[in-house]
Amino acid sequence: MLRGSGDLQNDEVTLYKYLNLLHSLDEFQGRGRVDRGDKKGDDTRYTTKELRRSFLDSISYLCDINPKGGTVTAAAIRKFYCKDGVQGRLYLAANEPILDRVHHFVERMLRDLEDITPKNHGMKKRKLLRESLDLGRQRLNYYHGKVLFHLKKCDQDIRILFRDQEILTWIETIKVETDLQRLSALCYHSREGKLDELKRKASEHRDIAELTHYIGRLGAHEYAVSTIITAYLKVPILRKIKVQILPSALVTPINLPAESVNFHTVCQEISGSPHLRHSGHDLYTMLYNSNFLSGFTLPSKLVQTSAFVTRVHAELQIVDYFSRKRLEFIEDDKYVGCSKPACYFCHLWIRLHPGGFEVPASHKKVILGCRGPDIDVAEDVNGNGARIRRDQYKRLTREIIRDIEEQVHIEQFLNRCQHLSSDGSSRAPKYYDQDFDLQLIKG
């Protein structure tokens, strides 16, 4: 039986209390975004391991058919012993239950690619691309809609920036194209030409940057299919794999207690944490300074985000399943592919997990609606799963506290103070108004 929704443990409250604070700090300070898929999928320099990993990312990408997040998919290959020797078994999990049509698509693909050869791979690639574009229609239409939206806002600027008629014609063709195959080809094959040129001009222009991002996404299916075909031609173990779908975990609501979302209380508590790298007093000061910089919005933000629903994200379902069942990965490569870079929570969870899994790429975005895998009480007779989960929550909390220190720029603040005291300058750091903070703290 899985753990119910109402029994929040102390460790979880502590973790979400600080995760909520980090989330609120991120809201106005932001973190870097990671993109991927900007290389050609048929790159022959890939090693077997890299190809196998790229295959997992690519198959996950093709299964992620809805732009809203429910179909974010993760994949791993288990080493599987049978009478014919060692085989691979492909495990798939998604944030929400995997749809039958996605499952059937994968089964069909694996069956169809079993007899791939250098002679027939072109035909098989075209078939897979056609089927994957059809499956991903909703996501592709969403991206095309985004292209049109941003193009409308930067159309005039592009005409001024680019005198090159070829680029203008290319953009115009993308704008009006409705056939997904032609649209995908148009975007994929321009990656190292016109799209790169557009990207070079995009650094100063937000809408052009968004436009290039979504044009890249429109070509990503063809990239994924090319990768899968290349991997199949070069990695023999893939030809014998069968697929197994993992059930997704239930959606669970979390309501943080009132004292856990009181800004003053949370600042006091975190300042007394034994996990801090710097002094609690400095962190306390910097948190109040951040509140000032945010226009005093942090206390209300903490309260606004005190209730949310959580899911066990796809990659954590796979990590948990392999860990709980003590399954071996093919070639001992503990890699879990995913259709999107991991969120902050999943990235930390995998990085800190005692199972030694490969740390995934991450966009570092703090998403509150993510939780650690649930414990199956009936299965966890020795309590090992519960222990790992409890320890993981403690480890994550420790890292979140340290990331809060980093997010409020405590390091720069302290270095700046040191610098100011040594050069005798009377200038205050731009982002820090000490008198104001002291008033707040005293008040």
For the CB of residue 343, give the shortest distance to Zn ion in the complex, in Å: 3
DSSP symbol at 311? B
Q: Is 403 left (phi over 0), alpha (psi -120 to 50) or beta?
A: alpha
Q: Output 171 or 346, the one with its CB closest to Zn ion.
A: 346
- For 175-196, the DSSP string reads HH---HHHHHHHHHTTTTTHHH
Nearer to Zn ion, 270 or 388 (CB): 388
Instruction: Tell me the CA end-to-end span of the chain in Å, nearest whole number.
Output: 50
* Minimal distance, residue 53 CB to Zn ion, in Å: 19
In the bound state with Zn ion, the residue whose beta carbon lies nearer, of 78 and 313, is: 313
**Shortest spacing between CB 369 and Zn ion, in angstroms:** 9
* Angular region, 383: left φ>0, alpha ψ -120 to 50, beta rest: left
| Contact residues for Zn ion, defined by CB under 5 A | 313, 343, 346, 370
Taking the C-alpha atoms of 406, 409, 411 and 413 in order, what is their torsion angle to the nearest 10 degrees? -160
CB of 341 to Zn ion, least distance (A): 9
The residue among 302 and 350 lying less far from Zn ion, judged by its C-beta, is: 350
Specify which residues 73 forms β-bridges with.
94
CB of 95 to Zn ion, least distance (A): 8
Angstrom CA distances, 89 to 81, 214, 220, 238, stand at 10, 33, 25, 9
- Residue 304: name the closest of 21, 31, 30, 68 by CA: 21
Question: In DSSP terms, which residues pair with 133 in a beta bridge?
Answer: none
For 428, residues 6+ apart whose C-beta sits below 8 A from its C-beta are: 434
| In the complex, minimum distance from the CB of residue 134 to Zn ion, in angstroms, rounded to a whole number | 28
The span from the CA of 28 to the CA of 43, in Å, is 39
Residue written as tokens 């173990």?
Answer: 237
State which residue, 289 or 317, has the beta carbon closest to Zn ion.
Answer: 317
Residue 3 in contact with residue 377, Cβ under 8 Å?
A: yes
Q: Which residue has the tokens 């059809």?
A: 134
Which lies closer to Zn ion via its Cβ, residue 69 or residue 299?
A: 69
Tell me how crowded residue 240 is: count the other CB atoms within 10 A of its CB. 16
Which of 370, 401 has the CB closer to Zn ion?
370
Least distance in Å: CB of 345 to Zn ion?
5
- Residue 174 CB, shortest distance to Zn ion, in Å, is 31
Question: In the complex with Zn ion, which residue's Cβ is closer, 136 or 360?
Answer: 360
